[in-house]
A = this chain, B = another copy of it.
Amino acid sequence: MLSNACKYAIRALIYLATRMNDGVKVSIRELSAEIDSPEPFTAKIMQSLSKQEIISSVKGPHGGFYIDEKQAEIRLIEIVKAIDGTQVLTGCGLGLKNCSETHPCPIHSEFSAIRDGFSHLLNEKTIQELAIELIAGHSKVKN
């Protein structure tokens, strides 16, 4: 469904949001430990998101990654678009070049409904609200 990179990214951002108000930046080492992800690979992903201004970072001692209030309000779909693109949101379930009502594959009507349901989920959820659930202990981002 989503690439590993994208899954790590979402978990990382939700975790960062839980640390938003403690005034401490999170190092890549701590972050990857907290979400059970490979450290250098996660670093690459964070760098890309930082360049796209989806997260913030500062170098040097006591530096690290963090997100601000504005960034905590983004929805999952923005992260997915930034990393995996839109194919997962619009592509045909059986790999036809274009998905459309006028040239439907054999499972078009059922699949497009499911795919649109997934899009809706990504569209609704903000990082912040998922972080609140994580803080409350109702969910996990670590194995």
By a CB distance below 8 angstroms, the chain B residues around A105 are 11, 139-141
Question: Using an 8 Å CB-CB cutoff, how does the interface string of A80-105 with B read, 1 for contact, 0 for none?
Answer: 00000000100001111110000111
Q: How far is the CA of A61 from the CA of B125 in the complex (A)?
A: 58
Q: How far is the CA of A117 from the CA of B114 in the complex (A)?
A: 7
Question: Using an 8 Å CB-CB cutoff, how does the interface string of A98-121 with B read, 1 for contact, 0 for none?
Answer: 100001111110110010011001
Tell me if A66 is interfacial: C-beta within 8 Å of chain B: no
Chain B residue nearest in CB terms to A124: B110
- Kindly state the interface size class of chain A when it binds its partner: 35 or more
Name the one of B88, B107, B118 contacting A125, with C-beta atoms under 8 angstroms: B107
Chain B residue nearest in CB terms to A92: B7
Chain B residue nearest in CB terms to A129: B106
Q: How far is the CA of A139 from the CA of B10 in the complex (A)?
A: 36
Q: Which residues of A contact B (CB under 8 A)?
A: 1-2, 4, 7-8, 10-11, 14, 76, 88, 93-98, 103-108, 110-111, 114, 117-118, 121, 125, 130, 133-134, 138-141, 143
Show 20 residue pairs from A and B whose CB-CB distance is below 8 angstroms, ordered by the A residue: A1-B93, A2-B93, A2-B94, A7-B93, A11-B95, A11-B106, A14-B106, A76-B107, A96-B141, A98-B143, A104-B139, A105-B141, A106-B125, A106-B133, A106-B134, A106-B139, A110-B125, A114-B114, A114-B118, A117-B117
